[in-house]
Amino acid sequence: MRTKGPGESAALLGDVVKCLSQHGIGYAVIGAMAAAFHGIVRSSLDADALVFLRDHSLRDVQTALDAMGAEITVRRGDEADPIPALIQVADSHGNSVDLLMGLRGLDPKAPDRTVTAEHAGQELRFIGLEDFVAMKLYAGGPVDLEDARAMLSLRRDDLDLRLVDDLAARFGDAAVRSLERIRDRATD
């Protein structure tokens, strides 16, 4: 692992996604790093990715990550949890990466809309802009909704607004209502 001290969760994420890629496991960077990639920089010490389990199982991901020598913790969600399972990868310096093993309501075509970009000398796959906005609407916390609002404002010309509507609808009524409130405030 490349980490040499605390505050290097992004470097740990780089090691994790390299491992996933070597095993043919699809992923997309989400959370604060994806927000920064899409144009909204905010401070965060964690790193998050969404794993696409099209052709692999949770066990496949665990097996791949075990070879890294990092501490792996698996948490399984219950049937009401929108995240079926989460794997936290941690190193001895306190850096961590949360890997969401799916997300209820996520469009199955989301992996096809990921965007590859270089970060710190490594290619990373980031969640697509419309999927990012819809996921933030679904998460629904204050920071999440502010991220969605900012993207809808700052990146309006880059967004496929019809796709955002469709993706929000996949996540349910609460995401749709959040989108409507954001749009209503933008026209006030």
Structural tokens at position 172:
């349910």
pLDDT at 145: 96
For the chain, give every domain's residue range: 1-127, 128-188
Distance in angstroms (rounded) separating the CA atoms of residues 107 and 11: 28
Chain segment 142-178, per-residue pLDDT in tens: 999 999 999 999 999 999 999 999 999 999 999 999 9
Global pTM? 0.93
- Band the pLDDT of 57: cuts 50, 70, 90: confident
Residues 6+ apart with CB under 8 A from 184: none
Cα(107)–Cα(134) distance, integer angstroms: 10
Q: What is the pLDDT of residues 114-139, one digit of tens each?
A: 999 998 888 999 999 999 999 999 99
State the DSSP string of 112-137.
GG-EEEEETTEEEEE--HHHHHHHHH
Residue closest to 160 by CA, chosen among 109, 89, 91, 119:
109
Q: Could you tell me the sign of the dihedral formed by the alpha carbons of 138, 140, 80, 125, in that order?
A: positive
The overall average pLDDT reported for the chain is 92
Q: What pLDDT, on a 0 to 100 scale, did the predictor assign at position 105?
A: 96
Q: What is the CATH number of domain 1-127?
A: 3.30.460.40
